[in-house]
Structure formats: structure tokens, C-alpha cells
Amino acid sequence: MKLVTRDLTVRYPGEELPALDGVSMEVLPGTLYAVLGPNGSGKSTLMRALLGTVAIESGEALLGDRPAAAWGRRALAREVGAVGQMESVAFPITVRELVAMGRYPHLGPLRREGAADRRAIQDALERCDALRLEGREVGTLSGGEYQRVRVARALAQEPKALVLDEPTASLDIRHEMEILRLLRRSADQGITVLLITHNLNLAARFADRLLLLACGRVAVEGTAEEVLDASILERVYGWPVRIRPDPDTGVPQVTPEG
């Protein structure tokens, strides 16, 4: 599923300046596309616009060939797995039950889980190293464990696209790398992956293309070599940086100065 925005502008009520101002991008199937930028640059708003949960002032956001707002919520959930930045669970629920919610869009009102649903849930738990947690109540999980379980729920949907806002937040090094490798493999298998992240170096390592936002506008879009330019990053982030190629992969790596 292709994800596209064209001259997308979003303005929240009461705000003088738009949260997004003329943002255009195209994420093709089989692509891992990273969205970068400082706090408040519009990254999470871009995700909301693509999911149809925020009003668009002008331009358009398309999922496949249809405007985001034209999708029904159930139909959208069958096609797109989403992991937002924050989420709370207001009632006791086990990890397995939470991940199983990813199958709800595929079940009719009277249909119970079938063998295919159970396989999808099991596979998602295994892929996120969360199988041993399946009997735990969600409220007992650490922040990192909960994040992995939320990614597993999105994978259980068996979507054509994944849209994730800081999915590696709170994760240790091992699980951060495992999630990024999982997203890379998902893209290689034909899934469209839109990843919002603050980690410039991991974006450079795993993503096919990068979009750098600044104050709601596109500062630059392209490959890691095109985007991770010291003069551009210093202007956008307001801090001096040094760029050097990774000795193992050759991709540019960013080190803050000072």
C-alpha cells in the first residue's frame, strides 16, 4: 500500500501557525521510510493525518488511492497497523488479549478466533520477543515490554502498511535493534513501513529514504547521504554536529559536538 501526502497542511484550532505546512512525500510498498525532526516539527501530526484522525486544512493524505478520511475505521485497521506514541489501558488485560485485538478487524461480530488468527497472534508475539509475556497483565509490564507488545499487536493485524511513532522508545539496545531489524524485514517482504524516530543514526542504517521536518515544513528528503548533512542538521536542530561514515556499513553517522 502506497502512502502519499501532497501539499499537506494541518492547523490545530486556535493555533496561528500550521502544524504541517505544505508537506509532500511518497512511501512506496516495500520501503522503510523514516520521518525525522526536532520536537514539535510535525512528525506525529503527519501520522495522524495519514490515519485520518486530524482535520486537513488543504492538500491531501492518501492511503493507497483513497483519501485517509474516506476509509472506514474497520477497513483501515485491516490494511494499516499503527503504533502511536502514547497509550494507556484502563482495565485489566493480558498481553495475549491485547495482541489479539489486532485480529478484531478480521473477525465478524459472531466469529471467534480461528486457527489463522491464533497463528498470527503467536507469530507476532514471537517476532517481538514477547511470547514469554503472554500471560502477564499489561499493567505489570515495563515501558520497554509494553512497547514491544504494542508493536506485536500491529503485526498481528497482518497489515499492508505499518505506521509507527517512536516504536523503540524505552527499549534497551538489544530490543531496539530487534525491532528495527523486524521493520526492515517487513519492508523487504513488501510491507510499507513509515517510521517516526529521533534516532538519526538508526534511521540512516535501516531506512531507504528519510524525510526531515522543521517547523512543519520539509527541510530535506532523500537518502541518508542526502539528508544527514552537517549544515542542514545544524540549521534544523540548532546544534553543531559531526558526520562520519560508519566503518562497517559506510552510512553516515551523526555525533553531536561540544
Over residues 230-258, the pLDDT tens digits come to 999 999 999 999 999 999 999 999 999 98
Residue 222 pLDDT level (bands cut at 50, 70, 90) = very high
The predicted pLDDT at position 236 comes to 98
Tell me the C-alpha distance between 199 and 190, whole Å: 24
* Residue indicated by cell numbers 485489566: 92
Average pLDDT of span 184-209: 97
Dihedral, CA of residue 1, residue 224, residue 35 and residue 147, to nearest 10: 90
- Please write the tens of the pLDDT for every residue from 39-67: 999 999 999 999 999 999 999 999 998 99
- Please write the tens of the pLDDT for every residue from 103-162: 999 886 667 889 999 999 999 999 999 999 999 999 999 988 999 999 999 999 999 999
Q: Which helix (H) or strand (E) holds 177?
A: helix 173-188
How many distinct structural domains can be found in the chain?
A: 1
Domain hosting residue 42, numbered range: 3-256
The domain that holds 223 is classified in CATH as 3.40.50.300
The predicted pLDDT at position 45 comes to 97
| Predicted model pTM | 0.93
